[in-house]
Amino acid sequence: MADDTVKSELRSTWESAAPGWAKWEHVFTASLSSATDALIDMAGIRPGMRILDLACGAGRQSIQAAKRVGANGTVVASDISGVMLEHVRRNAAREGLQNIETLECAADELDETQAPFDASICRLGLMLFPSPPKALEAVRRVLKPGARFAALVFTTPANNPFMAQPMAVLLRHAGKSPPAPGQPGIFALGATGILENLMKDNGFAGVETKIVSARLALPSVSDALRLLQEAAGAYRAVVAGLGDEAKSKAWDEVHDRLMLFEAGGRFETELELIIGSGARPSG
């Protein structure tokens, strides 16, 4: 499939998911607060810096980074979805922040003629890009020499059953196979050594990785189901081509699987993620 077609489909997926993602993003923000702080730390973000947030979504991590760089710093929140960026601007205004700018473009289309960045982050996006190597090459080009890029991705299906089991159900109902190794997917970069080697192979130096965990808690299993249905673009896309009845059956089975995570009437689960960080070489 041609790059333009892939990007068009990706943009459509996230444009349609944007309202739901904006609605539920506060849940992920609360769950991933510590992991996001670690992500920002591993990118070496400090006051006064100019930062790129790649695949920013509705921008809650952009806001965390903007608070870290302070009034003398800037965060450029970049995403393929213009609708997502509208939510970034609203969220920034709600927080009273004036140091967040937005940029609508695919990750591999970053313009290296713009002012270079002191650091860059990507939270839960790199594994879903059509070509992570092209994205990493583009990011490296727009960083200053010595500047760091850090990405947060999910590890493995075995260590993320809440993410893995619903996806397996939806794929089966849609008659689709899981992504082949090297293809975009929720767990594409999570196995041991994959993210580290990807960054090294694409020109990053001083590569480090760190495993982090997060606890996701919601008032009910029904809330967890709605979160996946409304906010998770990668999950929505799997069953987008099904008729209403077939789609309903698929989500009903997902609900049954999610009941395994019920505790005292609430929904609770643990997530495992990995952060990879590397620098553009100084030489």
CATH at residue 203: 3.40.50.150
Residue 168 lies in a domain: no
The verdict on residue 146 lying in a domain is yes
Residue 235 lies in a domain: no
The amino acid at 87 = H
Is residue 249 situated within a structural domain?
no
pLDDT in tens, the chain (283 residues): 446 676 777 677 667 767 777 788 888 888 999 999 999 999 999 999 999 999 998 899 999 999 999 999 999 999 988 888 999 999 999 999 999 999 999 888 898 778 899 999 999 999 989 899 999 999 999 999 999 999 999 999 999 999 999 999 999 999 999 887 778 889 999 999 999 999 999 999 999 999 999 999 999 999 999 999 988 878 988 999 999 999 999 999 999 999 999 999 999 999 999 999 999 999 7
Strands (DSSP E) contained in the chain are 50-54, 74-79, 100-104, 117-123, 143-154, 205-218, 262-263, 266-279
Q: Which domain holds residue 125?
A: 3-158+181-217+271-279
Rounded to 5°, angle at Cα 174 from 168 and 175: 90
Q: 245 in a domain, yes or no?
A: no
Residues 6+ apart with CB under 8 A from 263: none
How many Cβ atoms are within 10 Å of 18's Cβ, its own excluded?
22
pLDDT at 102: 97
Query: How many separate domains does the chain show?
Result: 1
